[in-house]
Amino acid sequence: MATTVYKNKIIKLVDGTELEIVPLKIKYLREFMEAFEDVKTAKNDDEAIDFLVECVRITMKQYYPDINLTKSDVEDSLDMPTIYTVLDISAGIKINQKSEETVKDQATDSGSSWSELDLAKIESEVFLLGIWKDYRELEESLSMPELIATLSSRRELEYQEKKFLAAIQGVDLDAQSGESKGQKEWDDMKARVFSQGKAKDGNDILALQGQNARSAGFGIGYGLDYEDLTK
């Protein structure tokens, strides 16, 4: 079965225009999350939704760059279920219209995981691959799932090389290393990214998605089905 690093979805605007929604490139995710801070201070759901519409307007810079949409244009072009779909796929902001929880609480609970990432450190490590001329180009090229998948593969290759060299010297690197605190933090971070904030840590079954599922040999969408019963 073919595997993917992230989910995508085709949406339709009111005028029939089709757009492919994928996770935001880091360039736009930064702007999105800056605007998303206003949601956390919203006084009520109406105000929270207004701020979320602004977040969706920012996503259109990536998905619909030929048209400079205003917030009013977004409201006229997308119904609320579609707006929630865009928020989910683009940045992992999950809102269930049937939930009794407020829109503000749902949005802020699912969007908090991004702020916990040391993005500069992660980008610095990936930048060493020498593919991008500067950090701006890197952020224009990669989304968070792509960044984590790239870094994960790089670290795996480096570890396998160290493991091989150690084996030549008669050392079993796996037996001696164990799980360090740093490795656990890395696994937990990957789990949050690939599950779009759903997984609590690397041991959560929801962590087995995307690159994690491919590495493990099974997972959600890779021989394992998953149904969200909260929806």
* pLDDT tens, position by position, 50-96: 999 999 999 999 999 988 889 999 999 999 999 999 999 999 898 98
Task: State the Cα–Cα distance between residues 220 and 64, nearest whole angstrom.
Answer: 30
Q: CA 99, CA 102: separation in Å to the nearest integer? A: 8
Backbone dihedral angles phi then psi of residue 18, each to the nearest 5 degrees: -100, 135
Across the chain, where does the E strand assignment appear?
9-12, 18-21, 219-220, 223-224
If pLDDT is split at 50, 70 and 90, which confidence band does 223 have?
A: very low
Task: Please tell me the least confidently modeled range out of 1-10, 125-134, 199-208.
Answer: 199-208
* The predicted structure's pLDDT at residue 84: 95
Residue of 146, 139, 150, 201 whose CA lies nearest to 23? 146
Least confident residue range of 50-54, 124-128, 167-171, 220-224: 220-224
Q: Which residues pair with 10 in a beta bridge?
A: 20
Nearest-CA neighbor of 6 among 185, 148, 151? 148
Which residues on adjacent β-strands are paired with residue 12?
18
End-to-end CA distance of the chain: 27
- Between 110 and 222, residue with greater pLDDT: 110
- pTM (predicted TM-score): 0.71
Q: CA distances (Å), 144 to each of 17, 88, 141, 151, 220, in order?
A: 26, 14, 10, 11, 19
Predicted confidence at residue 231, as pLDDT, reads 47
Instruction: Give CA–CA dist 72/77, Å, rounded.
Output: 9
